Structure formats: structure tokens, C-alpha cells
Amino acid sequence: MKTIVQISLDLTNIPEALETAAMARRAGVDWLEAGTPLIIAEGMNGVRALCEQFPGIPLVADLKTMDGGWLEAEIMAKAGATHVVVMERAHPETIKCVVQAGKDFGIEVMGDNLGAESMVDSARRLEDYGCGYVIHHIGYDERRGIAAAGQRQPSPLDELQAVVDAVSIPVQAVGGLTTEQAMRSPEYGAPLVVLGAPLTIEADAFTTSKSDDLEGQLRMICEHVHAYGDVGPQN
């Protein structure tokens, strides 16, 4: 598939999410993500607002479903989400319910392997259950806790190539990547590049970055990522 740039709107209010999304779209970002903090703070109103403001643009609702799979996917689909996220650590029946809801409502399902004992085996299971994408994810708390203990933070890049090689569906890597690392994800065969903290989101404040010329930086990143062309599974 062609390389895609997605912005993670891990913010806590709708006006800021809409403003940041508009800036990202001007810069060339392809997909929008209603991040978990936005959904927790604003509920489906955040998803609906993004859908209404940016019709026709793919919209990921990152609720990180763990139970009630079909119902949660239904709610997000009816709010306008085109992609929903289910956790691999959920019960297999929950994942299957989300996948079924994806078929019923015409939305895509992304499986997140955060916290998995084996990232590679987890990715394989997500594909086997019918997910259309793998989110290869090192969590926020995990990274901070390990760093606080004076140890090296794990990076999604540590096992990204192995995860990509293990599945035949598109993979995205998230969690603690620098901007430069995220931009290089296509070199591992991962076509979906997600931008959040630290470039676009202040990691500890969950507000839009105050970086100088953020829109210009995003435009440069989009041009760089899009230049990779077709990467990973050709679907």
C-alpha cells in the first residue's frame, strides 16, 4: 500500500483537536486519529466533530477496546469512525466481535499488541482473528516506568522488522519514537507512519506542541514519507 501519515490527536478537548487536525491536513497528513485521551474526555462527540469537520478523511477511533467488542465498534462506526482499535490482550471472542462489527458496519479493524508477551506471536494472532492492520505498540506508562528505573526504554523499532515479516497485513509502529525514527518506519516495510508526541503533542501535557513552524515541519515529514511510495502489503 502507499505510505500513509496519520496524526494522533491525543488531546483532551474538541476545539484544540479540530484546530490541530486542520493544520495537519493543510500539511498533507492523510489520516486523523481521535486519540484515547480525546475519546475519554469528550466521548463520541470528539469523533463526530472530526467526522463532520473533515468528511471523507479516514478517522481512527483509538478507544482500545477490551470487552463489549461489537457494541463499542458499533458506537464508534455510527459516530463516523472508519477504523477502530481492539487490544490483542482482550479475549479472542472480543477481537472476533470487533472484526464482525467491522464487516457489519463497513469499517476497518486495527489490532494493538501493547503489553503482549511476544510481539510477533501477538501480531500473527491479530491477523488470524481477521484484523486488517497491526499496531505495534510500546506503551506510555511502560516506557516511563522503565526509564525511571534507569533502564533503556524499549522501542517499537526493536522488533518492528520481525513483526512486519510475520504478517501479511499493514503494520504501524507507535510509542516513544522520535520524529526521525517514525519517518523511517517505511524502511522496515511499515507503511503507516503515526505522528504524535513529541512533535505534534506535548507528551506530558496532552496539548498541541508549541514547536516553531509545526505546520512546516509536518509538511516536510509528509513529503518525505509519501516519497517512499508503495511499501509492505500491496492491497
Q: What is the pLDDT of residues 67-126, one digit of tens each?
A: 999 999 999 999 999 999 999 999 999 999 999 999 999 999 999 999 999 999 999 999
Band of pLDDT at residue 201, cut at 50, 70 and 90: low
Stated pTM of the model: 0.93
- Compare 6 and 140 and report the one with higher pLDDT: 6
- Mean pLDDT check: name the lowest of 54-63, 192-201, 210-219: 192-201
CATH topology of domain 4-226: TIM Barrel (3.20.20)
pLDDT for position 105:
98
DSSP 53-114: HSTTS-EEEEEEE-S-HHHHHHHHHHHT-SEEEEETTS-HHHHHHHHHHHHHHT-EEEEE-T
C-alpha cell recorded at residue 99: 472484526
Residues 159-185: tens digit of each pLDDT: 999 999 999 999 999 998 888 999 999
Residue 141's pLDDT band, with cuts at 50, 70 and 90, is: confident
Helix intervals (H) in the chain: 14-27, 36-42, 44-53, 69-79, 92-105, 119-129, 140-148, 157-166, 179-183, 214-226
Closest CA to 133 of 223, 15, 33, 29: 33
Counting Cβ atoms within 10 Å, is residue 5 exposed (0-12), middle (13-18) or buried (19+)? buried
